[in-house]
Amino acid sequence: MSFLEVQGLKRTFPAPGGGSTTVFENIHFTIERGEFVCIIGHSGCGKTTILNVLAGLDEPSGGVVIMDGREIAGPSLDRGVVFQGHALMPWLTVMKNIAFAVKSRWPDWNKTQVQAHCQRFIDLVGLTGAEHKKPAELSGGMKQRVGIARAFAIEPKMLLLDEPFGALDALTRGTIQDELLRIVQATHQTVFMITHDVDEAILLADKILLMSNGPNAVIAEIVENTLPRKRTRHSLHHDPQYYRIRNHLVDFLVTRSKHYQGRQEGTSGQASTPPVVRPGLEDTPSGPQPADQLQPLAASH
Amino acid sequence: MASGNQAGASIWHATLLSLLMLLVLVGIWHIATLPKAQVQGANDEYAQLMGKGARKSEGFPTPAQLGEAIVRNVSDPFYDRGPNDKGIGIQLAHSLGRVGLGYLLAILLAVPLGFLIGMSPLIYRALDPFIQVLKPISPLAWMPIALYTIKDSSISGIFVIFICSVWPMLINTAYGVAAVRRDWLNVARTLEVRPLRKAFQVILPAAAPTILTGMRISMGIAWLVIVAAEMLVGGTGIGYFVWNEWNNLNLTNVLFAILVIGVMGMILDLLIGRLQRLVTYVD
């Protein structure tokens, strides 16, 4: 059994003219302990809703999520969340924002313990010296680092990141990606992250979930990142394999995600796990049906 | 540096302009209230018939008379010569005491109730019609009911202050609590923060600027209402002082009281404004 299992997740919202709209359905995937998983898809396919369900902030209309052998029901300190809009409390300093989380996790720690623990994570994200600043005095990148430090500081079993770098400029984003990569590699943290950025996904993720467009979105395929795990932002684009993966992802987002109609057999529950693909390494036998990956497009017409 | 100097200079200019305006206004006032010799001469006989000395100052007080009144009242603010003659300090203290007590009671009710309304859409919808009907009622309209049920004029005054302060605080607290950003509540939820801690450490600081705005509006209204209330119930207070001096036909003292009411209102507003700045956060 995997560390996290998502089985048949479905979410419907009441439609304006009565009835209901299904945002996504038949979502199946697993995450192993220590794995970094990214999910990519166009806006409106329900990525954030899936993340909220994993966080326990939203309830699915169908299906279950099992983490570490237990079904997720409501939010928990086992899962740290980095929110899209940093969600720092503007009336608290950097230190106190993180301390708020630390005190929630370990209510009986004394002041020095809390302070030392917070300091460790402030140093980890490179914010040493900014402990007593309020969020309004920080740049966008620094705010997001505080958000990351706050999520890491409670030492959760799993980290959920909702497009954490979406609002940052390219240079800042690069630096923080490097830092996140370094921290995750050092702590072997299990991560689930939403992103719009194909390069970010290839740099960070071990596994990339591709979602078709909503409504009725599904996970079209799971792309395995075949690049060596010791990759960095500087060496990444020298690897020919990088372009194969990148092209595959971009192709999906630009054309295939719109027409994806495959695997409508949701009722039977059969073949529920989406195909695993390894772009550029298709000849290597892997996954359930490696040759199947391009057929849904052809079959849709 | 240059802009700082400019800002400093413009503050000076503004102060200078304010002083100039004051000077012009007082000047006009002074000229308008100069004794009119001819008219007075013609009325001398009539005045004497009415048993009034022609030289006795009548009509609208002059700036000099007001100045005199200020010096006289401020130099001995706490004298007490019976129920109809008390110093301005004592009157002011009575008014402030009533406002303070009524206002405090209003805070004690409005802030927790506002919290509840803001947190629960159901309670909000259930209480909304009551609030909408009660809010526009002039607090003075409650006075007869208060006097009849409470049977104490001073406590009735406090009640009137309470009833007029309660609405802006209640509405603003409810609004502030309901408008707390979803993200912050979600942070609290994912951290499994207990309800009481969430209320005090997330919702209260988040809603504090809005709550304080309500308190500031309430204080403004309370200070307006106390004068009218004290005119009605009498006995003590700055409102009663105004009414009493009007009955004495001492317009100079009425003018002085008006000035005191204005200055005191400004001080109260400044104090709450200071408090408001303390809880305001930049987002």
Q: Which residue of A has its CA nearest to B280?
A: A91
Pick the closest to residue B214 from B135, B267, B157, B155 (CA basis).
B135
Structure tokens at B205: 């600081």
Distance from CA of A78 to the nearest CA of B (A): 9
SS3 B80: strand
- Tens-digit pLDDT profile for chain A (301 aa)? 889 999 999 999 888 888 888 888 889 999 999 999 999 988 878 899 999 999 999 999 999 999 999 999 999 999 999 998 889 999 999 999 999 999 999 999 999 999 999 999 999 888 999 999 999 999 988 999 999 999 999 999 999 999 988 878 888 888 889 888 888 888 889 999 999 889 999 999 999 999 988 788 888 889 988 888 888 888 888 888 888 899 889 988 888 877 776 544 444 444 467 888 888 776 554 444 444 444 444 333 3
Q: Decide if A80 and B184 are in contact by the 8 Å CB cutoff.
A: no
3-state secondary structure of B34: coil
Nearest to B193 by CA among A159, A77, A115: A77
**Cross-chain residue pair A104–B201, CB shorter than 8 Å:** no
Q: What is the mean pLDDT of each run of 10 residues along chain B (283 residues)?
A: 67 94 94 72 59 58 90 87 85 94 97 94 93 92 91 91 95 95 94 94 96 96 94 89 91 93 96 95 88
B277 touches chain A (CB under 8 A): no
Contact: B186, A77; criterion CB under 8 Å: no
- Point out the residue among A57, A100, A154 whose CB comes nearest to the CB of B201: A100
Q: Give the pair of three-digit tokens for residue B214.
A: 């309500």
Q: Cβ contacts of residue B259 below 8 Å, gap of 6+?
A: B66, B70
- How many other β-carbons are positioned within 10 Å of the β-carbon of residue A65? 20
Cα nearest neighbour of B187 on chain A: A87
* B-chain residues near A73 (CB < 8 A): none
Residue whose tokens read 């109809």: B84
CB distance B189–A57 less than 8 Å?
A: yes
**Alpha-carbon span A127 to A139, nearest angstrom:** 11
Return the DSSP state at B50: T
ipTM: 0.84
Chain A contact for B196 (CB, 8 A cutoff): no
